[in-house]
Structure 1
Amino acid sequence: MLKLHDELIEELAKSLMEQNYNPVVVTNHRLYARRFLDYLAERGMPVTMVTPAQVDQYFRHAVRCFQDRYGRPPSSRWHRLPHTAIGRLLRLAQGTWPPEIEIEPGAMLRRAICHDYGNWMRDERGLSDATIDARLREARRFLDWYFGRSGADDLSAMAVRDIDHYMDMRAIGLRRISLAGSAAWLRSLLRYLHQSGRVPTDLSAQVISPMLYAYENVPSILERGQIEMVLEATGRDRSPRGLRDNAILQMLAIYGLREGEICNLRLDDIDWRADSLRIRHTKTNACSYMPLLTPVGDALLDYLRLGRPQVDCREIFLRSFAPYTRMKNLYGMVDGRLAAAGVTPVGKRGPHIFRHARAVELLRASVPQKIIGDVLGHRSTESTNAYLKLATEDLRAVALDVPGSEVLS
């Protein structure tokens, strides 16, 4: 058993080193894994048969040992790294961890419906992955609610009253615009359920959503001076993370890209000889080509040469700590860089405010609306119209002649 334990620890350390983890992290993982395996050996528990309950038992034992040694309980974050190390160790020993839970028949049906619904949206409707994920989240929520409430084993008895009760439940704590989105996604699911024969009646028309008014909300926006402050402050940070964040912010400010379009950007999307950048638009699945402008190109070169980890991953922007996988969201980074620059926008503070700002700059530069839509990756002009309400200062400068207002002499 001891030989097996030593081999597992060495395999764990090798796996971490291959993922470019810091040597200190690797050493800590070895230490926590050794303590756990020693605990199992003392009790004659084979590591290949360990259950989640036994892992919980180990941590209760470890807490008691900590209290005996230091005279106080550990902090709430104390077990985080040991728990991670033990989880990785058990994945090596058992293949999967945590073990798969036996799925009840009702859950299997819900999973099958969502699987088929996702394929239908992808193959029949041609929707993007981001849209499919959002609609599947609503589908899972509705199906969990319906089966849990009705106790039925199929959808044949679904009625209008069920739709009304669900929307009443969803309305609690949601803004009108969020509730309208949930209603739209539920309609999509109900249309699919009817087309696939799982529901005899098309109930999609019975989903009542709140009234929304065109351009009723003015999105958050950054002024050019604020953008320059953020870029200047970030540009002074020459750490690997600073170089990465500067390149991302340059792309947000100059191209107005969506978060997913930056996170999905790959090394082969840059044509250095042609000074061109290929953008995969997340909402339309279409590709467009942008000129690789000097500020963006310089920032990308600095990051690729001096800041990006040397790994096989093809995505350009990676996490700053191991494991070095692609970034999945930019909200925390943008919020932190805004705060560091002393910029406090009104409303939301995510990456989309740079997109709004870029749209307004193009509008104020008298760029045709069609070209603005092409730059932003919009499928229709209606999507671009939403940005017109942001140029409020331009509207204030418009003076209208009022009939009968002439001064009579």
Structure 2
Amino acid sequence: MPKSTEGLPECAQLMNPGALRPFVEAFTGRLLGLGYTRLTVSGYEASARHFGQWLQNKKIAVAEIDHRIVRGFARHRCRCPGIRQTTRLSVKYVNRALRFVGFLAECGAVKLSERVPPCPDQDEILAFQAWLRRHRGISERTVWRHGRMIMRLLPALGPDPMQYDAALVRQVILDEGKLSSHAYLKTMTMALRGYLRYLAAHGLCHPGLDQAIPTIPQWRLSALPRFIPIADVERVIASCDVTTPMGILDRAVLLLLARLGLRAGEISGMRLDDALEWMITILWNR
């Protein structure tokens, strides 16, 4: 992670983490190595720098950091250097700082009397999201949504992917079906299929488990007729006023739709030469 503060919010740039500076740099380097985007890393770095600045303001040594200190940081009325002025910090912001404290404990910089509650397999989820960006080409919004859905399923799936089997995967989705709408559940099955394929590709679970995920039926537009009777089609075509240029155009479009089964997009992209060729085909087939 570069030592510059480029990309950080202005308020975070003015915050000095003091003795925690090398740990902040190592922390952000760890996140980048796990596949975090620079935007996400900047959010974690801002929280870590802010935490360090607050410790300096309160004259709290690094060795004194514990969960009581983190709770004090979460409740403090922020007047730290920069433009941040708030009466409370968001849960998400504090959780970022809490993860940084967990990193300090891993490094041996602090000793916590109680274990930092980690987000279940968060590093693995981040690696999965990086894999989606690299291999699936989906939007960032979808990447984030798939990660969030897998986080929801992890407690039911269990911590060890090598213990997953077809019965477990199927039951997890069936249980979610009792709590979620069909549309939400359909998206969740897509996320789980991607996650299981990612795990299998890296040898972290048995291959083929994505095939055990049940299909979620969602019949949109099921009340519409499958086709229009021929007599109705002919009435629509006959309704065009061929004495006007617009009526002639409407009739030509309807003939292309009805007789040749072209899609609307195919017709709208046609040129005059294409249209003449299709009309000749229609006349030849009559």
TM-score of the superposed pair, with normalisation by structure 1: 0.31
- State the TM-score, normalizing by the size of structure 2: 0.42
Greater RCO structure (CA 8 Å; 6+ sep) = 1
Larger relative helix fraction = 2
Larger Rg: 2
